[in-house]
Amino acid sequence: MKLSFRWYGESDPVSLEYISQIPGMHSVVSAVYDVAPGGVWSEESIQAISDACKKAGLVFDIVESVPVHEDIKLGLPTRDGYIDAYKENIRRLGKAGVRCICYNFMPVFDWTRTQLDKKASDGSTSLVYYVDQLKKMDPLSGELSLPGWDSSYKKEDLQNLFNEYKKVDEEKLWENLEYFLKAIIPVAEECDVKMAIHPDDPPYPFFGLPRIITSEKNLDRFLKLVDSKYNGLTLCTGSLGCAKSNDVTAMVDKYSKMGRIHFMHVRNVKLMDDGSFEETAHLSSCGSLDIVAIMKALKKNNFDGWLRPDHGRMIWGETGKPGYGLYDRALGAAYINGIWETLQKEGK
β-bridge partners, 3? 307
Mean pLDDT of the 175-200 span: 98
- Per the structure, the complete domain to which residue 188 belongs is given by 2-346
Which domain CATH number covers 47? 3.20.20.150
Tell which wins on pLDDT, 222 or 136. 222
State residue 155's pLDDT score. 78
Number of domains the chain contains: 1
Which of 275, 277, 223, 287 shows the shortest CA–CA distance to 251? 223
Query: Is residue 142 pLDDT above 80, yes or no?
Result: no
List, by residue number, the catalytic residues. 198, 236, 265, 310-311, 324
Global pTM exceeds 0.85: yes
Please report which confidence band the pLDDT of residue 1 belongs to, taking 50, 70 and 90 as the band edges.
Answer: very high
Summary mean pLDDT of the chain: 94
